[in-house]
A and B are shown apart, each in its own frame.
Chain A
Amino acid sequence: MRVSTRAGLVALLLLWSLGPMLWQLYTSMRTPEALLAGAGGLASGWTLANYGAVLGGDPPFWRYLLNSTVVGALSTLLTLALAIPCAYALSRRGGLLRLLVGGGLLAAAVFPYVLLFLALLQVARQLGLANNLLALCLPYAGLQLPLAVLLLQAAFAELPPELEESAVLEGFSLWQRLRWILLPLMGPAVVSTGLLVFLFSWNEFPIALTWISRSELLTLAPAMARIAGSSVYTVPYGAFAAATVLGSVPLLALLLLFQRQIVAGLTQGAIKG
């Protein structure tokens, strides 16, 4: 393939994926008048007022970011804390049990969780978990656990068994083997699994919407929906776009930060003798 053709294809793909985001960024910095006037004059109509409105709202936007971060971090930690031992145990089992449990996990992982949210709402009511930010971690971790176990189990299975056997003969306890040998080698898998959970929790909408009603406890997704529907007579395109841009910045930062670690972990690649 010629270099120019390849460059063209890459550019097309980039435009395809980044287009909506760039459009959102553009929208967030236009005045409502400029947006309605169409793509006429790019010389005028630029503003940061949308960001000001979002950041200065009540409660202020950073509150939603904080709520989402707290829920995301706790869900991730809870999921990993439960998934790592499960995945280890599963990877050390052979035969029928592994097949059955693995199949069950797969079924649970692909089940459309939206179908569950009414039932989950009942659970939340019964247990008095409504309007409790930390309680959101329970369904989030529960819903992401199957996928996390499957991913981590594959990572455990890829490690050469002699590494652990060698540690067993050296007298390491199970915890010591996990802490010093297995988990450090699985860094990339743990990080990418954690990121998936965090992303899910960051983007999750129906459960967050139904479990939380107090505005200062909202996470990003329902908060943005509230911004979009804040006026009966107009659609506040600019403010909504500004909110989505602000909401994706921490996520982008997180991905970039850990992407480097993942690459570093992969190039470490000294597992094979």
Chain B
Amino acid sequence: MTNTSDPAKATATATASEHSTATSLRLEGLCRRIGGRAILDGINLEVAAGECLALLGPSGCGKSTVLRVIAGLDPCDGGRILLDGRDISEQKPARRRVAMVFQSYALYPHLSVERNLSLGMELRGVGPEQRERELVAVLELLQLSALRRRRPAQLSGGQRQRVALARALLRKPRLMLLDEPMSNLDAQLREELRPQLRAILRGGRAPAIYVTHDQQEAMGIADRIAVLQEGRLQQCGTPQELYHQPANLFVAGFIGRPQINLLPQGDGTVVGIRPEHLRAVGEGGLAVQVLSREWHGASQLLLLESAQGPLRWTCDGNQTLGDDLRLGWERRHEHRFRQAGGERC
């Protein structure tokens, strides 16, 4: 491999991609059982090199377990984990060269930022000059240069998260795992960090799996989203696919805020219609009564009562409402699911 690119441009992105060859991850029927109970039940997934996949699901759905099994912290009770086509499910965690950012960051509290970052390299036998070079590059990349002598306790939540990310990058991982890395940060900081994190994960050539229970975050960071419930994969696709073609009732209800309206029909099916797709109509449609109203500025959310059950309607914030309100929708916006089983018709 010849490296002739100019050094000024290279330094910032060097750490993320240097030496890390493009890899891809494939999970085939991944299982994890604890005391006879299936925590993960045959998960099939594929993540390409340089791609970021979000694992999304309610708490307790097994999404963190997926990461732990891939990393080797929890045993794999069935199925295969293929990294670059080779099954790593029996390998020791250290040999898998997988980096993980923990929810609590797991920084070594007794060590300064620079020791937190360099200790791993030192123990892996990286020489002092190279250590310093890589340390400086990653500190610069994540804007931590001024903090290198601080202890974790002297850092803010966002800074700790960046240190944890830096440590993961220095591992030169073949696969990057992130377990709710933003959940300890306040909402505003989370929004600020999202594009940064997205850029860094894309910068590396290793695939990344990002676990979160926050769909905004999943949509903001990931290329594709895998929705998990009770240890089973419900659907995997781009945010647009999940939103416009939910594979079942669970995904339809889980993705999209405010939540989709689900109207049970007489024929054993359920019609799903997103709140923003409802329209006021003069004739026909559903007669509704306004129960409450949340005004959000550009839009307003109305909670309505109808003959078919409660409805949520997002409409223009300035729209005035008559007494005799009737709502309809276009057929192309309608999702239809089977009541039993919940899959899409």
Contact = CB atoms under 8 A, between A and B. Distances in A.
B94 A169 contact: yes
B268 to A, nearest CB: 47
A167 B111 CA distance: 13
Contact of A166 (B100, B152, B153, B157): B100
A258 interface: no
B171 A160 contact: no
Contact of A163 (B73, B97, B108): B108
Contact of A162 (B104, B153, B167, B184): B104
Contact of A181 (B73, B97, B108): B108
Contacts of A173: 94, 123
A168 B110 contact: no
B171 A273 contact: no
A185 B167 contact: no
B46 to A, nearest CB: 22
Interface in A151-179: 160, 162-163, 165-173, 176
Given A273-B160, A273-B184, A268 B120 contact: no
Contacts of A160: 104, 106
Nearest to A265: B110
Contact of A170 (B104, B105, B153, B171): B171
Given A170-B120, A176-B123, A270 B93 contact: no
Given A270-B151, A273-B104, A165 B120 contact: no
Interface string B143-167: 0000000011100010010000001
B94 A165 contact: no
Interface string B165-203: 001000100000000000010000000000000000000
A252 interface: no
A19 B151 CA distance: 44
B153 A165 contact: no
Pairs A-B, 9 closest by C-beta atoms: A270-B153, A270-B109, A162-B106, A170-B120, A166-B106, A171-B94, A273-B104, A162-B102, A184-B110
Interface of B: 71, 73, 93-94, 97-100, 102-110, 119-120, 123-124, 151-153, 157, 160, 167, 171, 184
11 contacts: A163-B106, A165-B71, A165-B106, A166-B100, A167-B108, A167-B120, A169-B94, A169-B100, A170-B123, A170-B167, A170-B171
